[in-house]
Amino acid sequence: MRRPELLIPASSLEVLKTAVIYGADAVYIGGEAFGLRAKAKNFSMEEMKEGIEFAHAHDVKVYVTANILAHNDDLEGVREYFKELKEIKPDALIIADPGVFQIAKEVCPEIERHVSTQANNTNYATYLFWYGLGAKRVVSARELSIAEIKEIREHIPDDLEIETFIHGAMCISYSGRCLLSNYFTGRDANQGACTHPCRWKYSIVEETRPNEYMPVYENERGTYIFNSKDLCMIEHIPDLFDAGIDSFKIEGRMKTALYVATVARTYRKAIDDYKKSPELYQQNMPWYLDQISNCTYRQFTTGFFYGKPSDEAQIYDNNTYLKEYTYLGIVGGTNEEGLYRIEQRNKFSVGEQIEVMKPDGENIEVTVKRIVDEEGNDMESAPHPKQVLYIDLGHPLEMYDVLRRKE
């Protein structure tokens, strides 16, 4: 049995450290250029270096995305960027463009090259093509079924790895190569500036019936284009193992630390439980399902894994995220009074009941006893985002505990 990697996204240094502590085997991040999440916070070169050092100290790998479809003007910058990355030693580069792939091979051949889902990797011949060029791993297109992935595994060398998205938002329009963003807003999805227009509401209006709005959807002849539910494969870990997938990838490089901690912790336990015993995995299924619903999501689907999605895999009446918890902050060190440092993310108050998330799966309900600002002034509430505070929750805490409030 292959030991699949749990690959978690990170939008910032704080989120990277959270992913590492909460169970990631590897983390993927974007720099300030040449990735497809230009609107994400992303990492400076200094933050990337610190993040890689932190991850490696915990035996966790770091992959850097460089998966734009490059234009001529990008190429020299890509080369210089890879020279900088060569010095800080990420474990792999995630690349979609063949030209960018070749530049990476020339500049930093010692860094693994992984082929992004943006390259539309839908068959084993494509996997073999990239293997022949020196790819260590290929990320499967989201449109593949479990059966197709298993067939790919049977036709490729053992040392060519398969990475597959198993949780998160489902980009529509063949693995996210979406033209709508460029058309509506002038922001190119393939240059990292996607506005996610797939999550807006759409209707068709026939010219002779101007006030009759018809929802956009598909029958057998077309594709369900807009507003997909979120992918979730927590109930199907055995099938993912059986397919021979090497890396279980979570989508969400623009998500909060609370989202990352929740998803990483839940899938970590599910994977580890299944490796110990399929019976233990089934026994703990209610816990996985409860926990995975605690992060922000938009209803769940299994996507294309078990065949072409039906209309039940889409949301037509709204595009609202479901939110059960609000992220409050992550515990840092202590001050001389023994109060715990946090950088607050959302408002909370003295006397309020909140919850502490532990990396080991424990959730502890506590009451906020005291809030103090950096000058030592007591506060009744914490209304200012990103304010550094010191708190007493009447319970011992540890570095990287996540604080959240049930809505």
For residue 328, give every residue at least 6 positions away whose Cβ sits within 8 Å of its Cβ, in sequence order, or none: 342, 344, 345, 346, 348, 354, 403, 404, 405
- For the segment 78-89, the average pLDDT, to the nearest whole number, is 96
- By C-alpha distance, which of 263, 382, 254 is closest to 329? 382
Give the model's confidence band at 10: pLDDT under 50 very low, under 70 low, under 90 confident, else very high: very high
Give the model's confidence band at 40: pLDDT under 50 very low, under 70 low, under 90 confident, else very high: very low
Per-residue model confidence (pLDDT) at position 187: 61
- Cα-based distances in Å from 290 to 249, 269, 294, 321: 20, 13, 7, 17
Q: Is 173 in contact with 240 (CB distance < 8 Å)?
A: no
Check residues 336 and 227 and name the one with the higher pLDDT: 336
**Structural domains of the chain in order of their starting residue, each with its CATH number:** 5-175+225-313 (3.20.20.80), 325-406 (2.40.30.10)
pTM assigned to the model: 0.85
pLDDT surpassing 70 at residue 181: no
Q: Is 33 in contact with 81 (CB distance < 8 Å)?
A: yes
Per-residue model confidence (pLDDT) at position 2: 76
pLDDT surpassing 70 at residue 304: yes
